[in-house]
Amino acid sequence: MRAYGLTPRQRDCLYAIAEMTRATGVCPTYAEIGAELGLVKSNVHRLVHGLRERGWVEVLPNRKRSIALLREVKVEDDHFASYEWSLAPDLPAAG
């Protein structure tokens, strides 16, 4: 099933962005997303571009943490719902 009309990899990327943002209070970098999904930054960039085209994220120019969710994301996959993001404790708190 294609949740949200996305490919499985796009969905994984969207879930990773949503969960990492929820857990840390800041949006993840491309490198952090890549580390969590086992992808290089260029592949993450391609996936984020696809999410942007479909209206799920906005990419803000000239910022390191440039990905912003435009819609609420419900994590429907049990793997992601229970997954503990390894980068979450290392990131500074927002504020």
CB 55 within 8 A of CB 48: no
- Residue by residue, pLDDT tens for the chain (95 residues) are 456 688 889 999 999 999 999 899 999 999 999 999 999 999 999 999 999 999 999 998 888 888 989 988 877 655 454 444 454 444 444 44
Give the pTM: 0.75
What does the alpha-carbon distance between residue 91 and residue 83 come to, in Å, rounded to a whole number? 17
How buried is 5 (Cβ within 10 angstroms: 0-12 exposed, 13-18 middle, 19+ buried)?
A: exposed
Q: Given this model, what pLDDT does residue 3 score?
A: 61
What does the alpha-carbon distance between residue 36 and residue 60 come to, in Å, rounded to a whole number? 22
Ordered domains of the chain (ranges, CATH): 3-80 (1.10.10.10)
